Structure 1
């Protein structure tokens, strides 16, 4: 049995991302008991990594809870929109505050690469955008995808990380959204 954790990084509870998180959850619940959602917008924490890595800012209870859930999960599903080629500020702050040395990775003296504390976990990114995939890939070189997939998750040991890119969202039809909700439901149902 897998532990599935969905991390919804959209700050608006009425967003299409919220519906996508629910669709994946409902699909996964068809075959899996252990499925949870963290809606980052509902957490009480300061998203600012105030001292950088020089000094640890005390972790709020909600962040401690999120860390426990991430460590207990076998599969992480990250759902968020692309804004200005990146992720929403609240999601970036969430990552900054919890993906820390000694928590998600360890620095080993004399070694160039860290000890990956999230080894054995897999992930899926479900990303919405107003830009077509070809534009984001060819012109912008997929910055937030590379950041999360390689710079954060793989750095901490999570792999493979698969991608579902949903676009364009702006001015999309109800039929378009319904089809994507069905696809994401089926991703959850197949635990992909």
Structure 2
């Protein structure tokens, strides 16, 4: 059975992001995936990289100790699905902190003679499901960092054969029809994932 790690990063359980999260988990489970549902807020994940963690960052024999449980979950996954809102053209701080603390040398990448080599080769599929307050044009003009990081950087370190980036833009002006259509799109994508 394939295992998916779903990382969810939104503090409100009645948000549209929470509805996207529920749809994702329910659909993957119904399709036979073993889902490790990691709600970073509900789990009380601490996103702050401590001074000691930074000192040990490149020491691959000791750097995972503070987050070993999260590293174990990431290493056990065949697929990684991120569900988050885009805030200020970036990831929510808790998700960025997860990347800073868990995507470590020896975990998500290796340094070989000063060059980065992928290390998350267990991740065969990668998806991001997100919402933006602004329009697609405004996001494009700002460089759309989350899209670039998922599509260019994360897919490379995971060497994912399949990468999907599903985004609903302009949440500030969204209609019920658009949110319903996006939920249906997410359901369809996760059924085919």
Q: TM-score range by the shorter chain?
A: 0.7 to 0.9
Instruction: Structure 1: state its 5+ residue gaps.
Output: none
Runs of 4+ in 1 over 3 A off after TM superposition: 56-60, 155-160
Report the equivalent of 2:55: 54
Deviates more, 1:14-23 or 1:155-164: 155-164
Report the equivalent of 1:64: 68
Report the equivalent of 2:139: 136
Helix, strand or coil at the partner of 1:126: strand
Distance in 1 (CA, whole Å) between partners of 2:85 and 2:7 is 12
Is 1:95–2:107 an aligned residue pair?
no
Asked if the contact 1:24–1:187 (Cα under 8 Å) also holds between the matched residues in 2, the reply is: no
Distance in 2 (CA, whole Å) between partners of 1:185 and 1:147 is 23
The structure with higher relative contact order (CA 8 Å, sep 6+) is 1
| Distance of aligned partners of 1:112 and 1:37 in 2 relative to their CA distance in 1, 3 Å threshold | same
Distance in 1 (CA, whole Å) between partners of 2:121 and 2:148 is 18
Give the C-alpha shift of residue 156 in structure 1: 4.8
Aligned equivalent of 1:148, options 140, 147, 150: 150
Distance in 2 (CA, whole Å) between partners of 1:11 and 1:46 is 13
Report the equivalent of 1:86: 90
Distance in 2 (CA, whole Å) between partners of 1:77 and 1:58 is 22
Helix, strand or coil at the partner of 1:141: coil
Distance in 2 (CA, whole Å) between partners of 1:23 and 1:133 is 23
Distance in 1 (CA, whole Å) between partners of 2:64 and 2:121 is 25
Distance in 1 (CA, whole Å) between partners of 2:145 and 2:21 is 22
Give the C-alpha shift of residue 133 in structure 1: 1.7
Tell me the C-alpha RMSD between the 2 structures. 2.2
Report the equivalent of 2:10: 10
